[in-house]
Amino acid sequence: MIKQTLGTLALSAMALQSFATTDIEWWHAMGGALGETVNTMAEEFNASQTDYRITPVFKGSYEETMTAGISAFRAGEAPHIIQIFDAGAATIINAKGAAVPVQTVMEKAGYDFDINDYISGVRYFYADANDTMVGMPFNASTPVLYYNKALLAEAGVEPPATWEEFETVASKLKANGHAALSQSHTPWIFFENFHSRHNLQLTDADNGFSGLPTKLMYNNKDLSMHLSKVKEWKDKGFYNYYGSAWGDNQTPFEKQEVAMWLGSSGSFGGLKQAADFDFGTTYLPYWKSVNENAGSTFIGGAALFAMNGHTDEEYKAVAAFFHYLTLPETQYFWHEQTGYVPITEAAYELAKEDGYYIANPDAEVGVKQLSLASGEWTKGYRMGFYVQTRETIYREMDRLMAGETTVKKALQAIVKDGNDNLKRFARTVK
């Protein structure tokens, strides 16, 4: 039915080709199957109306896309829409004059915009100090725990809700000859989301939302305890560390070398294809001893930003595309195809009504986790030159796991580098 309508629309679009269309470009970092889904959505948008035409351009990894956007902006050739990832959010949001807030673009073009239409865990991550949405959350995911149902049943255990439970579960799995856990993104899962889940502060200036932070707070007793435990688990054979690369830690779960894996809710689709066993999904575990009422996690992934320096007509096209993207049907399609969470309440409702979660209960875990109680520090974070700080975190984790450093020294090194990066970045913002 929808396809037919779209087909007719496409035909009428061709008939009306003589009218001027506004062309806009969208630079993104979605490769492979994700890229195909992006192209499908762009084609549907182009077919759905005749005034605007969007061209998606794949620019490589998140970092490469951001760098390409930066170079283009400096040369006065910026694309209309660019996809910027979580760690780069501070870079674009703090630069006055690099991006036009999504909210402004939408309101100027005459669309109703209410930030409360977005699900709570997604709402403020790319917003500024006044809660104005600057970047439109696009591919939003969150860390979740995947578990091998058969291996857990063999050991007679349930997937752990807390890290305290994890220790018992892991020792039983170990007794059965299996390592319990691997994990794919140390900075995102064990650092940033560790703080969000336990509602702990990350930096001064309200995690960077009310100003430019200069103090990273990773050197705290809770994270220090967690990392000491992780090291202990590694030594006991509960936790297998396969280095810093995402895939190197995911593959052992697919090969059933480890019984559980901490990855992204967006990994679901790929995992389903790669794993030929039954697996389940559950919330990211937390420490009961740190916060009994652990709540929402942060989103990961990326957002779309409207770049500065284009004509009003082009911003209208951008607004029309953003409007199309946030339609419940579009969001549901994206959610179903990729495993990323739907970003609006309406899209989430639509997926529920459609019975999607009855057939696929795992697909709902990410959304539900993002809808858990939010706290003072679960809104997001905004840290300058955070890409470099993440690199330091990866580095120190490698060293910690190899026994070349201690938790104390590693955290000191991370905070030192992190603070230097924050201070340096703060000086570049005018």
CA separation for the pair 167, 162 (Å, rounded): 9
Helix axes 221-236, 386-401, angle to 10 degrees: 40
CA separation for the pair 184, 198 (Å, rounded): 20
Identify whether the C-beta of residue 197 lies closer than 8 Å to the C-beta of residue 295.
yes
What is the smallest separation between the CB atom of 249 and other proteins, expressed in angstroms? 9
Q: By CB under 8 A, name the one of 73, 239, 253, 305 that touches other proteins.
A: 73
> Is 140 strand, coil or helix?
strand
* Interaction pattern, residues 27-66, with other proteins; x per rule: CB under 8 A: ------------------------------------xx-x
What is the smallest separation between the CB atom of 130 and other proteins, expressed in angstroms? 21
3 binds other proteins (CB under 8 A): no
Phi, psi (deg, nearest 5) at residue 326? -90, -5
Q: Which window, 86-94, 104-112, 154-162, 319-327, contacts other proteins (CB under 8 A)?
A: 86-94
User: How many of the chain's residues bind other proteins (CB under 8 A)?
Assistant: 40
Amino acid at site 16: L
For other proteins, give the closer residue by CB, 64 or 313.
64
CA separation for the pair 205, 211 (Å, rounded): 5
251 binds other proteins (CB under 8 A): yes
Q: Which window, 167-175, 198-206, 225-233, 237-245, contacts other proteins (CB under 8 A)?
A: 237-245
Q: By CB under 8 A, name the one of 24, 284, 346, 401 that touches other proteins.
A: 401
Q: Which window, 134-142, 180-188, 309-317, 392-400, contacts other proteins (CB under 8 A)?
A: 392-400
DSSP characters over 207-253: HHTSS----B---SHHHHHHHHHHHHHHHHTSB----S-HHHHHHHH
354 binds other proteins (CB under 8 A): no
CA separation for the pair 362, 357 (Å, rounded): 7
For residue 137, list its beta bridge partners: 303
243, two tokens: 């280095």
274 binds other proteins (CB under 8 A): no
212 binds other proteins (CB under 8 A): no
Binding site for other proteins (CB under 8 A): 63-64, 66-67, 70, 73-74, 88, 91-92, 95-98, 241-245, 248, 251, 255, 385, 387-388, 391, 394-396, 398-399, 401-402, 404, 420, 424, 427-430
